[in-house]
Amino acid sequence: MILLDSHIHSEGRSVEDLRNMSDAGIKYAITCAFYPIQPLYPETLIDLFRKLVDYESERGNRAGMKIYASVGIHPRCIPPKWDKVVDFMEHDYGWIAFGEIGLEKADKVEKDVLRSQLKLAKKLDMPCIIHTPRKNKEVITEKIFEILERVEFPESLCLIDHIDNRIIGKVIERDYIAGLTVQPGKLNIDDAAKLVLEFGDERFIANSDTGFSESDMLAVAKLAEKINSENVLLKNGFKFFRIK
């Protein structure tokens, strides 16, 4: 089966790793913007976005995998003068989504940055990958919902990622798409399969979040051995990200 991994950080993976993923059937992946230290300059993120579009896609090609870029300001790496980054995101430079964006601690700056990016995404009709944190997941996700509702963000553009048992009900009742992140410390394969069984396979998109740290880059391929859903493993992603 051909698979799509909706959330990786390809920069943290060697080209041989990407080849392993491709050999396991993962032929499509979305690489999400993240900078692993606090950047001192907005320009660093602008060049990072160019790198994701121009270079990571090329590394993907060499590995037999189509890599699409998703750009945005992650709440853990907000630079000073972040509005310059959001201004750059208004360009059409070849990315297919904004992300990962979201909240980590939900302080004022994080909320301002998320709101600003969501407003732009709404204006541009751009799908968004929204990060939810490990710590205080329920409380912080509620704050994300509040912001989404206040900007009247279209449900069809909103993927709430790294969902778990605690928040999935609220994601589904709001008609958002849910990101099933299968990874040690997040969901295991059995938990992910149970959620699909309970809520159906129309609302989920599978991903590994593999990247800079130790991680199971083949998580989506392993999930495919457990659940036989082309929707969760490919088609819902194609539809959400408008891949043709």
- Residue ranges binding its own copies (CB under 8 A): 11-17, 35-37, 39-41, 43-44, 46-48, 50-51, 54-55, 59, 62, 212-214, 217
User: Which residue type occupies 2?
Assistant: I
| Least distance to its own copies, CB of residue 13, Å | 5
Nearer to its own copies (CB atom), residue 50 or residue 119: 50
Q: Is the separation of the CB atoms in 183 and 208 below 8 Å?
A: yes
Nearer to its own copies (CB atom), residue 84 or residue 115: 84
DSSP notation for 109-138 = HHHHHHHHHHHHHHHHT--EEEE--STTHH
Nearer to its own copies (CB atom), residue 43 or residue 230: 43
Q: Report, in this order, helix, strand and coil percent for the chain, each rounded to 5.
A: 45, 20, 35
- Tokens, residue 68: 């699409």
Q: Which of 168, 158, 231, 162 is nearest to 194 (CA)?
A: 168
| Least distance to its own copies, CB of residue 51, Å | 5
| Least distance to its own copies, CB of residue 1, Å | 25
| Least distance to its own copies, CB of residue 190, Å | 24
Nearer to its own copies (CB atom), residue 41 or residue 190: 41
> Which residues on neighbouring strands pair with residue 116, listed in sequence order?
none
